[in-house]
Amino acid sequence: MSLLLEQLSLCELEARLGARGTTYKSALLFPKCLLLGLMAMTAVATGVLAENPSAPAMELMVDETQAARRIAFVHEELAVRPGALALAYPRWIPGEHGPTGPIQQLAVIRIHSGTVTLPWTRDPEDIYTIHVDVPPGTDRITVDFDTLMENTISDHQLLLAWNTVVLYPLNIDKVRLMIEPSILLPPNWKAGGSLRVTSQSGSRVNFAPVSLERLIDSPVLAGEFFRTVPLASAWPAELDITGDSQAALDKADDAQAFALFGQLVDQDRAMFGFRHWQTLHLLVSQSAAAGPLDGLEHEDSPYTAVGDAGLAQKGQLEKLGWMLLAHEQSHSWDGKYRRPAELYSKPNYQGPERTSLLWVYEGLNEYVGMLLGTRSGFNDAAYMRDYLGRIAADFANEPGRAFTPLVDTATEDWILRPFDVGWFSLRRGQDYYDEGALIWLRVDTILRQQSRDRLSLDDFLRSFFGQRDTEPIVVPYTREDIEAALSAICPYDWHTFFETRIYRVNDQPPTEGVEAAGWRLVYNATPNREFFDSELLPLSYNGLYSIGMSVKKDGTIFDVLPGTPAYEAGLGPDMKILAVDGQAYSGDVLNASIAHPRDGKISLAVRNFDTVASREIRYAGGVRYPHLDRIPGTQDYLSEILQPRK
């Protein structure tokens, strides 16, 4: 493939562009007399390739000055050769595990060669691709478009996810295509992230060229109220945080959040031993406007959203610390550096990818997040035991597991993302996360038992996910690699172990890990603590473990478990409970009736569509919630597992 590489000074370039009367904002692209290495690319039927991986092949400028209005203006300059050119909008987004690139937010596409508008057409079989004919004699084109409704957090903050603001030549290698990015911020905003800043002029920030892959893995967190906090950790790490007020940033000191993050990075070091970055940038936005449980892993700049002044609230840190903050950053090892080969499409982002190994990528990382969250002090062992009891009970009472193997929840993961759906227990949710975690707890105890306490899962994590110090790269793996690596540190029939628990239907409750760790699932009248999912789906009553039904705040039934008293009473999702034993519905009223049923039954008035009917639940078992109890005379592995490492 031929390739033309030329060095132009900015002044020469501006002269050329000016002569062609480039479209608006093009002047913003080129700060005065900055030497640009521009690569003319070969655009032929087989693609566009960069032979010199260090030279930028594309300039990409994102104008976020109107972020509060939920619109970003994108301007690209790319060198081309005459002929057919296909431009792609990223479809399979790393960390989202699905074809979720927000193509519907791409609008007002304008492609020019100088002053000449080039018509484009969308590929009818792949709506993420647009085609343009580059006319004879053309060596550069500009591509302008708007990205709508993405990246805005609030009036005061944004998170620029580069995959939402790039159209790239389809036939390139994402590791080799070099892009020189820049961002124009609202006045007086500051930005943070792992991209290296080369210059800043007013509100414009210019970054050093990076590959398309590194760009998409390097979001920019920006805000009017922005603070960088170096962490007191053995590895270089910093918190980049935003808030909707200066007070939200300053209050984070009160809850000792910064100390917790420092301890988290130190526990990473003790667990994995090696890192795949120079400096870890932990991006955290704080805003009431952000959706609950928002976060996305990145190799050296994981992102998490918490509520307004969330870092100042110990309750929020306890509830979200392991599930979001610890979880997203441990993906740097499990998910970013090591990634399932089938979930790492090449050469671009258009897929297709396969998601069946999410029981490792997410399930193991869920377990790792639990360990790191408790080891670093976001919560304590009692809190994590309560959560393990809750999820063990959820799966033990899930009828769908008798028909659907766990791996299927990974294979179809992205259609299971909606959480608030009826008959949840029949369809199964994204069970590869939490049931995966319980299975990895069993792996941990097997390693400990088989080695007579010489080994633990930490040894596997270090050898498979730590490996060595490197720059950010991706090292793919297969299921066979996982099983071989486990066998290398502890001979065992790992293939059959995973086959029977993940790849085949397993209707047994997944409690063997908990039991091997010295604890057992019990039920009593003490409600569980509040976990992260209370932010996602606030319930007024969780009676799944008693009458077999959970209810939302407004009395609408969320789910009913087949075979339980609520199911036998004819109840189903989306019906609305109006009254319980003659009293207007509330969680407390329902709880009182379950605790003291009259004649062994609970009477409900229930609205369904346009009818209101009476329903009777026959139940006398009292209030029940799941917890873990010690198994007398056994080794308490779980407490050892949750202990901080030196």
The residues that touch Zn ion, with contacts defined as CB under 5 A, are 362
DSSP for 120-146, written as a single string = EEEETTEEEEEEEEEPTT--EEEEEEE
Residue among 297 and 308 whose Cβ is closer to Zn ion: 297
The SS3 assignment for 401 reads helix
Phi first, then psi, for residue 219 (nearest 5°) are -65, 160
- Cβ distance to Zn ion smaller for residue 206 or 267: 267
| Shortest reach from residue 328's CB to Zn ion, in Å | 7
Shortest distance in whole angstroms from residue 98 CB to Zn ion: 13
Q: Which of 532, 619 has the CB closer to Zn ion?
A: 532
Q: How far is the CB of 330 from Zn ion (least distance, A)?
A: 9
Q: Which residue's CB is nearer to Zn ion, number 89 or number 367?
A: 367
Strands (E), 173-327: 178-184, 190-192, 197-201, 204-207, 210-211, 220-223, 225-230, 237-243, 280-286, 295-296, 303-306
C-alpha–C-alpha distance, residues 193 and 183, integer Å: 12
At closest approach, how far in Å is the CB of 95 from Zn ion?
7
Nearer to Zn ion, 482 or 589 (CB): 482
Q: How far is the CB of 366 from Zn ion (least distance, A)?
A: 7
For the bound state, the minimum distance from the C-beta of residue 365 to Zn ion, rounded and expressed in Å, comes to: 5
Q: Which residues pair with 284 in a beta bridge?
A: 241, 304
CB of 368 to Zn ion, least distance (A): 10
Comparing CB distances to Zn ion, the nearer of 266 and 362 is 362
**Least spacing, CB of residue 270 vs Zn ion, in Å:** 21
Checking DSSP bridges between strand 625-630 and strand 210-211, what pairing results, if any?
unpaired
The pair of structure tokens assigned to 165 is 């603001």
To the nearest whole angstrom, how small is the minimum distance from the Cβ of residue 362 to Zn ion?
A: 5
**Dist CA 447 CA 453 (whole Å):** 8
Q: Which residue has the tokens 């039904």?
A: 549
Q: Which residue is nearest to Zn ion (CB)?
A: 362
Q: State the minimum distance, in angstroms, from the CB of residue 381 to Zn ion.
A: 22
Kindly state the smallest distance separating residue 335's Cβ from Zn ion, in Å: 7
The size of the chain, in residues, is 646
Cβ proximity to Zn ion, 361 vs 545, nearer residue: 361
Nearer to Zn ion, 438 or 589 (CB): 438
Amino acid sitting at position 365: N
Instruction: Quote the least distance from Cβ 296 to Zn ion, whole Å.
Output: 8
**Which residue number, 260 or 368, has a Cβ lying nearer to Zn ion?**
368
DSSP assignments along 543-604, one per residue:
ETTTTSEEEETTSBEEEE-TTSHHHHTT--TT-EEEEETTEE--HHHHHHHHHS-BTTEEEE
**For the packed helices 363-375 and 257-272, what is the interaxial angle rounded to 10 degrees?**
120
Burial 148-175 (b: 16+ CB within 10 A, else e): bebbbbbebbbbbbbbbbbbbbbbbbbb
At its nearest, how many Å lie between Zn ion and the CB of residue 314? 24
What is the rounded end-to-end Cα distance, in angstroms, of the chain? 53
Contacts of 596 (CB under 8 A, 6+ apart): none
The DSSP symbol for 68 reads G
Q: Which is nearer to Zn ion, 14 or 297 (CB)?
A: 297
CA distance 74 to 26: 10
Please, what is the angle between helix 381-396 and helix 363-375, to 10°? Answer: 150
- Is the CB of 308 or the CB of 366 nearer to Zn ion? 366
Which residue lies nearer to Zn ion by CB, 238 or 362?
A: 362
CA distance 370 to 384: 7
Which tokens sit at 558?
Answer: 């969320």
Cβ distance 625 to 526 under 8 Å? yes
Of 362 and 434, nearer to Zn ion (C-beta) is 362
What's the alpha-carbon Rg for the chain, to the nearest Å?
27
